Amino acid sequence: MLPVDLPLFPLPNVVLFPDVCLPLHVFEPRYRQMLTAALSGDRMIGMALLKAGHEAEYERQPPVYAVGCAGLITHAEQLPDGRSNIMLHGIQRFRIVSENHDLPYRRARVEALLDPLSEDHRRTLRDARHRLERLVGPVVEGACAEVRIPPTIPDHELVNALAQYLPLDAVEKQALLERDGVVDRCHALIELLEMKVILARNCRAVAFRQ
């Protein structure tokens, strides 16, 4: 169950999705303190994407997108100099209701965002999977190469994994995270990848004519 009060780890180019693992390097003193507190508690932290244009405010409290994803720390390795390498496993999306700035690191009161997965949703994802898999090769390889995806990955986990790991802009990933449920996210991801494939083909055609 998602805690109501969640420590925030805001980063400029990182978006976490449910059911996906994310390695992180923690080095700032305030986030070392956050990590220590999390490890002594429920081992959960919330990932939130920083909004662009506020880089100069990073040492203060620059604005973040309201929707993020809570992650469970499944592994933590402290280095001799006090830094740490951790592994987060995405658990659940949330919406920030308010922030608490009493501590050196940011904390937020959050509300959980559910991603329902009914039998109808499962059938829709199953039908969309082949179309999604066919688009991965051109986006990753820049050509119509086939990328083999293990068939054992559940459909909903595949959607979230591709949303996180494909070479998309952070704001594109954020838009996918904010979609209302994994089926909506799947359709949006397909539309986004189709657009990228078309743009790549047009660029190659222009380059060939030149």
pTM score of the predicted model: 0.87
Classify domain 5-113 at the CATH topology level.
2.30.130
The per-residue pLDDT for 203 is 57
The per-residue pLDDT for 134 is 86
The per-residue pLDDT for 193 is 93
The per-residue pLDDT for 141 is 62
Beta strands 44-49 and 5-11, pairing class: parallel
Sequence letter at residue 23? P
| Average pLDDT by stretches of 10, the chain with 210 residues | 90 95 94 94 96 69 94 95 95 95 92 92 93 81 60 94 93 97 96 84 54
Comparing CA positions, the residue from 182, 47, 75, 64 lying closest to residue 125 is 182
Q: Where are the beta strands (DSSP E) in the chain?
A: 5-11, 21-26, 44-49, 67-78, 84-100, 107-113
d(CA 94, CA 121): 21
Counts for the chain of helices (H) and strands (E), in that order:
5, 6
The per-residue pLDDT for 143 is 45
Q: Are 8 and 46 in contact (CB under 8 A)?
A: yes
Q: Are 159 and 189 in contact (CB under 8 A)?
A: yes
The per-residue pLDDT for 91 is 96
Give me the residue spans of the domains in the chain. 5-113, 119-209
